[in-house]
Each structure stands twice: as C-alpha cells, then as structure tokens.
Amino acid sequence: MLNVNGLTISFTSREGTTRAVDNVNFSVTAGSTTAIIGESGSGKSVSCYGLLGLIPQPPGRIESGSALFLDTDLLRLDKHALRQIRGRDIAMVFQDPMTCLNPYMRVGAQLMEPLHYHRGASQSEAKRQALDLMAEVGIRDPEITINYYPYQFSGGMRQRVMIAMALINEPSLLIADEPTTALDVTVQAQILKLLSDIQLRRNIGILMISHDLAVVADIADQIIVMQEGKVVECGDRAAIFERPQHPYTRKLLASIPQGQKIPSSISPNPLVSVRNLCSWFKQDNETVKAVNDVSFDIYRGEVLGLVGESGSGKSTLGRSLLNLVPATSGQILFDGHEVISLAASELKSLRRRMQIIFQDPFASLNPRMTVYDTLAEPLLLHKLETRSSAAERVLEIMDEVGLARSYVRKYPHEFSGGQRQRIAIGRALASRPDFIVADEAVSALDVTIQAQILDLMKTLAQEYGLTMLFISHDLAVIRQLADRVVVLQNGEIVEQAETTALFEHPQQDYTRRLLEAIPGKSLL
Amino acid sequence: MSTTSISALVDAEQGSSLWRDAWLRLSRNRPALAGFAVLTLFVLVAILTPWVAPYDYAQQNLELGATPPSADHWLGTDIFGRDLLTQIMYGGRISLAVGFIATAVALLIGVSWGAIAGYMGGRIDAVMMRLVDILYALPFMIFIVLLMVVFGRNMLLLFLAIGAVEWLTMARIMRAQVQSLRQQEFVEAAVSLGLSPLAIIWRHVIPNALGPIIVYTTLTVPSVMLLEAFLSFLGLGVQPPETSWGLLISFGTETMEEYPWLLFFPGLVLAITLFALNFLGDGLRDALDVRGAKD
C-alpha cells in the first residue's frame, strides 16, 4: 500500500548539511503494522513526516527517493494535492494528544466539524457518526462525554479521541508517532489493543514510530530498525526478535529491562520509617489526597521499588520523605530523626544524608552552572571539602559516574540526556548520602541509555551501601533493581511484597493488571 | 572559582556558557551591534563632554543670536547664541544619566522585590504584590508632581521618582519568572541539597531569570528617557541652567517656525538613541531566547 524507496532527507544549518534520513526503504501493507524503531535523533520521525510534507523546507530538503501510496508518488505531489491525501487517506496520531486538540472546543464539536463541513453530513448525521466513532474507540458514555472539553478527559481517553479524529475520513493508512509514550503502562496496553482491533475491523495499514522495541513486540508485523538516519535492519517480528543480525538491534534487545536483582544484604532495622503519612493539598477548593495514610519501612541497604500509575501519588510520596513537599500528617523517621517537624538547622544536616534524582535531566540541572559548579555545590555547602580540595573530589565523582574528566568545565546544554543524568546522579552522591530517592530516574532516557544508567545506579548503590527508594511506573525496570516493591494506587498502598513474590504471586487485582500491561511480556 | 586547581588536575575543555552563546548570537545581529556601537559612542561623548565640547556651555553670544548650522557652529546656535552641539552634549549627560540611573534603581528594587515575592509565595507574596498593585493604581504623574512640589526640583529626586515608578513592572516580570523557575527540578534539587532560600534565589533563580530582565531593561531605558523628556517638556523635570534633550526639544518647539534646527537636532539625537536602544533590546531578546539556543 505504501512503498518507500531510497528516501533521503537532509537538513541544512549553520554548521553544514546533515543527512537526517539516508536511503531509507520500507513498506506498509493493508491490514498489517510496520514499526520504525530508533532512538531520538535516528531519523524515524523525520522519515514519516517527510512523506507527508510535514517537515519545514528549508532547512529540510528531500533529496531523493520515492514514496508510492496507492500508485501516487507522495514526494512528487504539490502541497495542495498532498493536503488532500493527508487526513483523508493517511491520518496521524501523535504522542501528546493534549497539544493536538483545541482546548477551547468541545470534543464532540471537534469530531463533528470535519464530518459536517468536509463531508457534507447534516448536523444530526454528523453527531450520530461522532457518537459511533467515540463508541468504536472505547470512550465510555459518548452521549455525555461528547460535550466534554479535552481537559475533562484523562490522557488515555484523549488519545482515544485523537484516534477517533484520525478515523473520521476512513483512512487506509494510520501513522502513529509514539502514540503511547506519554501514557501509563495499563493505558498503553489498552491503546495498543485498540489500535490492533481497529486494524482488524477496518483492514487499514499502520505505520508506528517508537523508541521502544518492547512496545511494538506485541503488535508489529514488520520492524524497521533505524540508527543515525539509516535502516540497519528490517524484517518480520520473529526474525528481529529471534535472529537479530545487526549489532545495534542486539543492543536494543539487550536493553529491554529483564531479569531481576540479586537480593542485597539488608539489615533488619529500617533507615526510613513512614507511619500514617498523609500529604493532601487543596486544588480548586477540593482536597486532593495525593498520599493517604501510608505506612512502610525502608531497610538499610535495600532498594525499595515504588510503583504506580501517574496520579497515584508516588512522586509526592517520594518528595515528602525528603521534606520537599509538606506532609499533612503522619510521621517520617529517618535514622531515628523525625523529618517533618525538624528545625531548619537540623534539617540541613539531615539533607546531606538524603538526596534525590529526578526524571528529567534537562530540567534538573541549572543551565548556567558548569559541571564543576554543580558537583562542588553540595561539597562546599556541607563543608565536606574546602575550596582548594573540592576540585579533586569533583573529578573523582565524575570518574564514578562515568563522565570524562575533561568535561568538568562544560555546561548542561552541551551534554546528551544520558550524560546529564550522570551529572545529576553525581550531584546526588557528592555529599555521600545514606538514602536516595530516584524519581523515574531512567524514564526519560532512550532504552540503551536507560540500561547503562540502571547499571550505573546498581553498581553505585552497592559500592556506597545506599538505601534507595526507586520510583517508577515501569515494572520491568523495578524488577531489575528492587528488593521489595510497594504498589501505590490513588495515594494508598495496595500491596507490598518481596519483588519475586510480587511478580510470581500478585495478591491484588490492581497489581495483576499492572503486571499484565508490561509491554513485550512475550519477550521475558 | 578554583579554576587554577582544576587546571592543575586535568586538561579541561572550556565549556560554552549560555551567556557566551547569547553573546555570539548577538554579535551576528547587525542592527543590534550598530545600536550598541551608537550607544557606546553617545555614552563616551557624554562622559567626556567637559573636555570635548567645542564651546563653553554657559557662553552666550547675544549679538550672534540664532544661526543655522555653519562651519563654526555645526548644529547652529540658539537664540542666545549658544552653540547647539554643546547644548546637546551637555543635555545628553543628563538625559542618559536619568535613563541609566533610574533604570538601575528600577532594576535593583524590582528584581529583588519580585524574586523574593515569587520565591517565598503565600502570604509574603500576596502582601508584596498587593503593594505593587496599589502603587500601580496611583496616577504616577500626580505622584511625581507632588514629589516635585513638596521637595522642590532636584535631579536626584527625579532619578528616584522615575525609578520608583518603573520598578513595578520589573517586579512583576521577575516574579513571574521566579514562579516558573521555582517549579523547576534543579531548584528542588538545590532545596534537597540543603541550600538556604536566599542562596537558592541568588545562585539558581536570579541567573536563570535574567534573560527577560535584561531585555526589559533595554526597553526601560528609552521609556525612562522619554519620561524625562516629557516631564522636562512640561516644566516638571530638568530646569535651566541645567539642560536635557527633553528641555532642548521643549525650547525648540517654541521657536519651531523661525529656527527649526533648534527642534530638529535635539529631536534627532533623542530618536537615534531610542532607536539604538530598541534595536539592542530586540537583538538581546533574540539572543537570549531559549528557543533560539541550541537544544
């Protein structure tokens, strides 16, 4: 149905011309799914957007190639003809549905508009079709929700609305760009299921762009692996997963988190004890119980996994342990000290002993400070080093987290995401803390980088004898790292158990649902 | 910082700070550079005026009277036969000083006020910003007129009065910046390191909020200079024997029909200055814009 041949796209900037996409071939057949896999910057999105004329030209330029779609070459069409095809025969689903919906317009109106204006359906006919579509993509109570504004939907429901919009004109090809990356695992599983249901029912072709091999493992028929603008390997699913040829594909496969942690030596006395902790806050005159009556212990030397979907309160919980978010009531004991009611001076000395690593290494480093300034700050603040001795310690930390010493005077924007996360880890470890909260510390990273950072954290945790609260929505990652797991839902603990026990004999329905939603289970 | 000890330990590559990147982008922007050059020239001339002015400031030549531009008097003379170029140069000292000093006053008060209000939040923020709202609501012309009437006409007071009006917007911009920065994880990381609020504001918040502040500053200078010109024009600002561009323009308008150059040249100089500041401001805005920065 779609046949792309020798597609080459280049971008010209002040530094020169780079080939973002270099001689790429792939095809999509009706009723099947082709997945393009690659890390950020691999050219996977550019190649798809290029087909539809959605890259700005200049600086972009399609140098050569053809893209036959139902006997028309998309690359030879003028803007107007391309616009006709786009949206009618080829529809797109994007990563972030919130930015693609008009926030000031009711969802129903947004669905009905094209039906009404472009297809000449009467108002009532358009409404009926919109309701049908909403039902088809699994939106509950379409009669009521058709009058909702986008913000009234959850992320997963918004993505369903986007899919419904994509289906309005009955396209024969659906391009889905990381359609589930912004979603929770359980929702991701539902959306992937929905996409394959629609495909079966309507016999359409799907071209899916993803950075995550595990996500496409269950639904892709053909897999294209891209690296630095080139296709390094392509083949059907079985071939890619069972007989990967290219070293990069093997590396990607090896990066899918699997296996589990060898239990660390855990002392029986807890370092952190949480009792009846509540963290509530007011939002629009409603009390949001982000964390509600939670009690658990974290033992010395243990990695405790905290898992839950977005909105489960796991980040708030992690932050309130460090007194970054005020707790409403309850008790947090850190090595015998009550954290919540501590005076500022005592808190400062406690802060040296507990640190946090954030999810987004682009936001967690001060863009105006060099690596040296960032890493030296905790050393000087807690008087662990003098100004003259700090430099040596900073360089040692850089060694430990795997950053070249020569980078010491560089600024965050000069580093990649993985390197920045290493700086953030270095900053957290600089004051030699006993306890670290890692809040989705690897979720924003490409899979291969994610694997490296996880390895680094494992090694350092052992070396330093760290106690860690590892917060993640990704159970596969938790399994690799955690000794025990706490499952959080709507601010309350649903289940806590040893990692092995939790994975093999989950006691609660919610835990079972989470386990079933792990992408690429078939691979484990 | 202890750069020497680092150099002793490792051959480190020099990083490129965001400020340096911004400077590089600015240096590619021709109008902004031209604006910068013009301003530098004007400021230099203003500083050196007592030594480089072609004539004595107070020297009158009543017999000569008003003459159009000539070889002796490049920009002509006023009705008292005083050299206009000299007048403009001395006027520039005052106008530029008002512009820069009043802006500096506004900057100092506004940035610290806004940073503290924005970072502390809650009740402190509410009280501080309500005060700003109240001051905003006062008709500032009346405020300045009152000041002038009560304390008499005084150059320092003029600086302070204008600065006291201009810092309000600065405080609001700063507060908005700080409020969004406060949510950033690197600030949270600094809290978890144990830094005190003041240290966080100083080291982590202000350096990151400066971009828009710098831009707004370059746009405040011309508005302050216009304000001074306006006040002087009304007879509320600078008074003879002192002079400023606004005052020269005011006198120029009185004799506009007979001696148009007396209005034209002071107006031209003021316009050039304002253009230069605006070009520089635009250039700075582009240069400091995060979206323009690499990644």
Q: What CATH number corresponds to the domain at position B278?
A: 1.10.3720.10
- Smallest CA-to-CA distance from B284 within B15, B16, B39, B112 is with B39
Name A159's Cβ contacts closer than 8 Å, sequence gap at least 6. A93, A97, A179, A180, A183, A187, A191
Whole-number Å distance between alpha carbons of A191 and A100 = 17
Q: Is A176 helix (H, G, I), strand (E, B) or coil?
A: strand
Q: Does a structural domain hold residue A53?
A: yes
**Same-domain pairing of A329 and A461:** yes
Is the peptide bond prior to A59 cis by the omega test (within 30 degrees of 0)?
yes
**Same-domain pairing of A233 and A285:** no
**Same-domain pairing of A239 and A287:** no
Q: Does a structural domain hold residue A376?
A: no
Which chain B residues touch A410 with a CB distance below 8 Å? 13, 15-16
Residue B187 distance to chain A (closest CA, Å): 8
Cα A226 off chain centre by: 19
Q: Are A195 and A137 in contact (CB under 8 A)?
A: no
Question: Which among B6, B12, B186 has CB closest to A365?
Answer: B186
Whole-number Å distance between alpha carbons of B263 and A123 = 66
Residue A434 φ/ψ, nearest 5 degrees: -95, -25
**Same-domain pairing of A224 and A347:** no
Quick check: B185 contacting A, CB < 8 Å?
A: yes
- What the block records as the tokens of A522 is 């078939």
**Same-domain pairing of A219 and A343:** no
- What the block records as the tokens of B293 is 């920065």
The DSSP result for A185-229, as a single string, is HHHHHHHHHHHHHHHHHHT-EEEEEES-HHHHTTT-SEEEEEETT
> What's the CA angle centered on A341, arms A339 and A344, to 5 degrees?
85
Q: What is the mean pLDDT of residues B186-212?
A: 86
Task: Report residue B1's pLDDT band, with 50, 70 and 90 as the boundaries.
Answer: very low
Q: Is B196 helix (H, G, I), strand (E, B) or coil?
A: coil
Whole-number Å distance between alpha carbons of A334 and A308 = 23
Question: Which among B3, B11, B18 has CB closest to A368?
Answer: B18
Which chain A residues touch B186 with a CB distance below 8 Å? 363-367
Task: Give buried/exposed letters for A311-324 (b at 16+ CB in 10 A, else e).
Answer: bbbbbbbbbbbbbb
Quick check: A366 contacting B, CB < 8 Å?
A: yes
Q: Which one of A256, A286, A313 terminates a domain?
A: A256
pLDDT on residue B279: 87
**Same-domain pairing of A301 and A230:** no
Q: Does a structural domain hold residue B238?
A: yes
Q: Does a structural domain hold residue B269?
A: yes
- Smallest CA-to-CA distance from A514 within A469, A474, A470, A472 is with A474
Q: Are A434 and A461 in contact (CB under 8 A)?
A: no
3-state SS string for B247-280: HHHHHHHHCCCCCCHHHHHHHHHHHHHHHHHHHH
Which chain A residues touch B190 with a CB distance below 8 Å? 366, 377
Q: Does a structural domain hold residue A185?
A: no
Q: Does a structural domain hold residue A311?
A: yes
**Same-domain pairing of A338 and A467:** yes
Give the H/E segment covering residue A64: strand A60-69
Range of the domain at A252: 1-87+213-256
Q: What is the mean pLDDT of residues A180-206?
A: 85
Whole-number Å distance between alpha carbons of A358 and A428 = 10
Whether residue A306 is predicted with pLDDT greater than 90 in this model: the reply is yes
Whole-number Å distance between alpha carbons of B8 and B231 = 59
Cβ neighbours of A301 (radius 10 Å): 18
Whole-number Å distance between alpha carbons of B102 and B97 = 8
Residue B264 distance to chain A (closest CA, Å): 44
pLDDT on residue B214: 82
pLDDT on residue B294: 38
Question: Of chain A residues 308-337, which have a CB less than 8 A from chain B?
Answer: 319, 322, 324
| Chain B residue nearest residue A351, CA to CA | B194
Strand partners, A333: A273, A338
In chain A, the number of structural domains is 2
pLDDT on residue A23: 85
End-to-end CA distance of chain B: 27
Range of the domain at B214: 41-292
> What's the CA angle centered on A121, arms A118 and A125, to 5 degrees?
145
Which chain A residues touch B294 with a CB distance below 8 Å? 413
Q: Does a structural domain hold residue A308?
A: yes
Q: What is the mean pLDDT of residues B84-98?
A: 83
- Smallest CA-to-CA distance from A278 within A492, A124, A79 is with A492
End-to-end CA distance of chain A: 33
Per residue in B20-78, pLDDT (tens digit) is 777 887 888 888 888 889 889 888 888 887 787 777 777 776 666 667 777 676 777 77
- Smallest CA-to-CA distance from A357 within A422, A298, A439, A415 is with A439
Q: What is the mean pLDDT of residues B191-217?
A: 85
Name A434's Cβ contacts closer than 8 Å, sequence gap at least 6. A271, A300, A335, A353, A354, A466, A467
E-strand stretches of A303-442: 303-307, 329-334, 337-338, 354-357, 435-439
**Same-domain pairing of A341 and A217:** no
Tell me, what amino acid is at A146? I
**Same-domain pairing of A278 and A238:** no
Whole-number Å distance between alpha carbons of A214 and A90 = 26
Per residue in B250-288, pLDDT (tens digit) is 777 878 777 877 788 888 888 898 888 888 888 887 777
Residue in B177, B186, B295 to test binding to A, most A beta-carbons within 10 Å: B186
Question: Of chain B residues 54-93, which have a CB less than 8 A from chain A?
Answer: none
In chain B, the number of structural domains is 1
Whole-number Å distance between alpha carbons of A237 and B2 = 55
pLDDT on residue B62: 67
Name A38's Cβ contacts closer than 8 Å, sequence gap at least 6. A44, A211, A225, A226, A227
**Same-domain pairing of A456 and A500:** yes
- What the block records as the tokens of A81 is 């003809």
Q: Is the predicted ipTM greater than 0.90, yes or no?
A: no
* Half-sphere exposure for A444 (CA within 13 Å, toward CB): 18
Residue B79 DSSP one-character state: T
Q: Does a structural domain hold residue A425?
A: no
Residue A523 DSSP one-character state: G
Per residue in A391-449, pLDDT (tens digit) is 888 998 998 888 888 888 888 888 888 889 999 999 998 988 999 999 988 887 888 88
**Same-domain pairing of A455 and A509:** yes
Which chain B residues touch A59 with a CB distance below 8 Å? none
Q: Does a structural domain hold residue B4?
A: no
Which chain B residues touch A411 with a CB distance below 8 Å? 15-18
Q: Does a structural domain hold residue A70?
A: yes
Whichever domain contains A326, its CATH number is 3.40.50.300
Which one is predicted more confidently, B90 or A469?
A469
Per residue in A135-165, pLDDT (tens digit) is 888 888 888 888 888 888 877 888 888 888 8
Quick check: B13 contacting A, CB < 8 Å?
A: yes
Q: Does a structural domain hold residue A148?
A: no
